[in-house]
Amino acid sequence: MKKWKILNKLNTSKQTDDEIVKLLLENRGLKDKKAIEEFLNPQLKNITLDSVGIDKEQLKIAMDRIYKAIENNEQIIVYGDYDVDGITGSAILWETLYGMKAKVLPYLPDRIEEGYGLSIKGIENVSSKISGIKLIITVDNGIVAGEAVRFAKDLGIDVIITDHHVIDAVLPEALAIVHTTKMCGAGVAWLLSQQFKVKDDDSHLELAALGTIADLVPLTGANRAIVKFGLEKISRTSRFGLRELFRTSGIEKDILGVYEIGYLIAPRLNAAGRIEKAMDSLRLICTKDKVKAQNLAEKLELINRERQLLTKQAADHASMTVKMQDSLKKIIIVAHESYQQGVIGLVAGKLVEEYYRPSIVISKGEKYSKASARSVDGFNIIEFLRSIPEYFINVGGHPMAAGFTIETEKIIKFKEALELSVEKLLSGQVLTKTLKIDCELPLEVITKEFYISLKQLAPFGMKNSEPVFATKNVTVKEIKVLGKDSKHLKLILGENVSLDAIAFGMAELAGDLKIGDKINIAYNIDENTWNGKTKLQLKVRDIA
């Protein structure tokens, strides 16, 4: 059981659908009429440079240089990243410039050989394959690549940075920096591509939505509009690669949502960059050849299965390492030479999920080691890591996720210093997993009409989580254990009404429950379709 935090109280005399939606909006900080209208009815036209905080002068310098490169037939490289955000952003910018008759090629670095972002090694590698490069445009990286930018300048290559990561103390000496932390990398690339006004390419909106969902940026403001309209485009996409991904993922729905993109599509696109070459995912997205799309989608499916196995092996090992320690520290740091660099971020996420502690997982190398960090609400991991720069060769990221390179011989001292420092910094309150509940609700309120009214708040994601409700003293009418491994709990609940409820991964509670018991539940409201029939269902988040 988690600690419950009830965010608001529903007036018993105001249990109408509209009043509950009003309360939900209030919980999300939306009180005035204009803010509510913009949230419920997002518009793409409201996404402006000012609204996301992109410097117009820097953007103009970038665009002028791109136009000049096209006019002079100069070789341009779109230098992306190997995750979904970087892949989709690179596809957007490459297709846009290619459509403008630019001499342009995309390049995604190798995670093991070149590492994250624009690097000296990456520039050397791309220059050895493609001669006469005059302009590099980064996507989803570059804001901390000062050394690499200087190296490029020494070679006579201009660099335009487009990025959304947190700025370091010193900015790279790039020709132009198109940057905001309010969007993901693909969002920045999409907004830049829109400025050229070559044509209205709707398919780029679906790629921007894909990157936005996969990168877990807040689904508010510009991001909310991109995802809302982008999901509509994704659901009817003509891109062979995406359609083949839907097939291999087993998606049968006509309308795709955040779940399908975030949990089924994104991991498959990410898998290539984690285990092999991210270029396969880029080729899949961009190909106009149906047979090639089929082959690439099948290849990604196999790579994703390998990724799942490697993640499980490393996560099991990391968790066992934590259990073998004398005590559970306020920050978890595990390092091993068997951890593949491509999965350490996923392993860190699983440790946070299991122990609710900021977690750092290090893939140990002979001389240098790569690390991924994931945090908990209330602890800015990138700010903390940047306060101890003496340990790192490089470091970058977000408040909730970061990565760095460290000399292997420094790992033990680094671990000791961090554990001591975080012990003083973090309170037990920050490390208590809290389930935020919008309000308590009588089950009688839950109707089809109410569910439809809730969907006004979609799409759900970071900073706009799916509404969570609580109901106390609910009668248990039926109990079943479901699933291939008998891991899930199916209940029928209520007295005056009967509602199906599914509690994923909670089958162990079946032995503690009996028919007629009164329980307190926290849940989301969803629909379930079975044998052609669709009915409301509670997705149980916690049972007390």
Predicted confidence (pLDDT) per residue in 196-249, tens digit: 976 555 679 999 999 999 999 999 999 999 999 999 999 999 999 999 999 999
Report residue 531's pLDDT band, with 50, 70 and 90 as the boundaries: confident
Report residue 169's pLDDT band, with 50, 70 and 90 as the boundaries: confident
CA distances for 540 relative to 20, 353, 518, 527, 530, angstroms? 20, 17, 15, 13, 18
Q: Which fold has domain 325-425?
A: Diaminopimelate Epimerase; Chain A, domain 1 (3.10.310)
Which pairing describes strands 533-543 and 499-503: parallel, antiparallel, or unpaired? parallel
Contact status, residue 482 vs residue 489, Cβ threshold 8 Å: yes
Rg of the chain on CA atoms, in Å: 24
- C-alpha torsion 62→65→69→71, nearest 10: 120
Q: Helix or strand or coil: residue 493?
A: strand
Q: At what angle do helices 279-286 and 266-275 cross, to 10 degrees?
A: 140
Contact status, residue 336 vs residue 369, Cβ threshold 8 Å: no
Q: 3-38+435-543 in CATH: which number?
A: 2.40.50.460
Does residue 157 register a pLDDT over 70? Answer: yes
Residue with tokens 């790569």: 370
Fold match flag (3-38+435-543 vs 46-199): no
Q: Which fold has domain 46-199?
A: inorganic pyrophosphatase (n-terminal core) (3.90.1640)
Nearest to 201 by CA among 75, 59, 282, 91: 91
How many Å apart are CA 96 and CA 61, to the nearest integer?
18
Contact status, residue 499 vs residue 528, Cβ threshold 8 Å: no
Q: To the nearest whole number, what is the mean pLDDT of the chain? A: 94
| Predicted local distance difference test score (pLDDT) of residue 430 | 85
How many Å apart are CA 164 and CA 397, to the nearest integer?
9
Query: Within 10 A of 374 (CB to CB), how many other CB atoms are there?
Result: 25
Nearest to 435 by CA among 330, 523, 358: 523
Which pairing describes strands 401-407 and 368-374: parallel, antiparallel, or unpaired? antiparallel
94 alpha carbon, distance to own chain's centre? 22
Nearest to 172 by CA among 182, 184, 159: 159
Domain chopping of the chain, boundaries = 3-38+435-543, 46-199, 325-425
| Predicted local distance difference test score (pLDDT) of residue 368 | 95
| Predicted local distance difference test score (pLDDT) of residue 201 | 58
The string of pLDDT tens digits covering residues 71-90 is 999 999 999 999 999 999 99
Query: Within 10 A of 245 (CB to CB), how many other CB atoms are there?
Result: 25
How many Å apart are CA 423 and CA 39, to the nearest integer?
40
pTM here is 0.92
- Long-range Cβ pairs for the range 348-354 (8 Å, 24+): 348/372, 348/373, 348/374, 349/374, 350/311, 350/315, 350/318, 350/319, 351/315, 351/318, 351/319, 351/322, 352/376, 354/319
Residue with tokens 């992109």: 54
Does residue 329 register a pLDDT over 60? Answer: yes
**Which residues lie across from 378 on neighbouring strands?**
none
The string of pLDDT tens digits covering residues 365-410 is 999 999 999 999 999 999 999 999 999 999 988 899 999 999 999 9
Could you tell me which residue, 511 or 191, shows the higher pLDDT?
A: 191
Read off the pLDDT of each residue in 165-176 and give the average, rounded to a whole number.
Answer: 94
The string of pLDDT tens digits covering residues 467-499 is 999 999 999 999 999 887 889 999 999 988 999
| Predicted local distance difference test score (pLDDT) of residue 200 | 56
How many Å apart are CA 58 and CA 171, to the nearest integer?
13
Nearest to 88 by CA among 230, 212, 274, 227: 212
Residue with tokens 């093991």: 112
| Predicted local distance difference test score (pLDDT) of residue 130 | 96
Q: What percent of the chain has pLDDT over 70?
A: 99
The string of pLDDT tens digits covering residues 105-137 is 999 999 999 999 999 999 999 999 999 999 999
Nearest to 336 by CA among 324, 353, 352, 328: 324
How many Å apart are CA 28 and CA 22, to the nearest integer?
10
The string of pLDDT tens digits covering residues 422-460 is 988 888 778 989 999 999 999 999 999 999 999 999 999
Contacts of 103 (CB under 8 A, 6+ apart): 69, 70, 73, 74, 75, 76
How many Å apart are CA 221 and CA 473, to the nearest integer?
38
Read off the pLDDT of each residue in 17-25 and give the average, rounded to a whole number.
Answer: 94
